[in-house]
Amino acid sequence: MLLTAPPTAILSALAQEQNGLLALLQQPQQVRHAGRTFWQGHLQGQPVVLALSRIGKVAAATTTTALIERFGVQRIVFTGVAGGLGAGVKVGDVVVATDFLQHDLDVSPLFPRYEVPLYGQTRFVGDAALTALLFTAACGALAHEPETGRGGLVTQQFSGACVHQGLIASGDRFVSGAGESRLLQAALAVAGHEVLAVEMECAAVAQVCLDYGVPFAAVRTISDRADDSAHVDFSSFVEQVASRYAQAIIERFLMSL
Ligand code: ADE
């Protein structure tokens, strides 16, 4: 009997972030489940399932549960975009998450602000080994290493782009105002959380992965600064750039597994 390894799930929020990877998928097979489309196949010789979390924490939790329960994935990696919150986190930079929190979770005064009730923790930690591989892959992709034979990511537009590692905050809102972004950053800082980037899914994915004991890591490319022009910057980045980043980083990551 031929035993095949359980697949690696590659999760993105939006189709535009997934397109480049989908175009490279070998022996693609489409499966419809839970109102979603899952793509099984091979990338860099590895069995994978490509899936869309959709937008927001609930949708992301549903997709993650389906990946684990239905597809038996052995690890989950998220690739997508985020708004840069931390000082020096610029559009075109990459953030590899070390840990995740929900910035819109507040059950105070019953529990400390941001703490996930009954888990006794505020932050969910990414899998250390996967995170280290993603960090190396992201550095390689930005540095134009010639392993894949494709061009590097750094164009004139994003020259000086760098890879950061740190905390990512998720919440069910698109942060699109300089004032809002400052308030969010300040409130988190008061509670001792220095956040690099904000998005809408990964803390939920991390929580489900913790529940099931499935290793999880995430990489986010900065599409905007979560400021007054975030909606414009986000839209053009997602259309024009996001998929190239996902492709270059995930190919290198899968090669290193
Ligand atoms: N994803 C990308 N940019 C974002 C922002 N500004 N707020 C929330 N999620 C995002």
Domain locations along the chain: 8-250
pTM above 0.85, yes or no: yes
Candidates 202, 186, 199; CA nearest to 234 is 199
Residue 82 Cβ contacting ligand 1 at under 6 Å: yes
Whether 51 has a pLDDT exceeding 70, the answer reads yes
Q: Crossing angle, helix 242-255 and helix 128-142, to 10 degrees?
A: 120
For ligand 1, the distance from its centroid to the CA atom of residue 92, given in whole angstroms, is 14
C-beta 234 within 6 A of ligand 1: yes
Question: Is the pLDDT score of 62 beyond 60?
Answer: yes
Confidence band of 2 (pLDDT split at 50, 70, 90): low
For residues 234 and 237, what is the distance between their CA atoms, to the nearest angstrom?
5
Among 119-123, 190-194, 231-235, 253-257, the minimum mean pLDDT is found in: 231-235
CA distance 119 to 63: 21
CATH 3.30.70.1450 given to domain 8-250: no
pLDDT mean over 160-175: 95
- CA distances 133 to 52, 201, 248, Å, are 22, 21, 13
Q: Which residues contact 32 (CB under 8 A, 6 or more apart)?
A: 38
Closest residue by CA, ligand 1 atom 1: 82
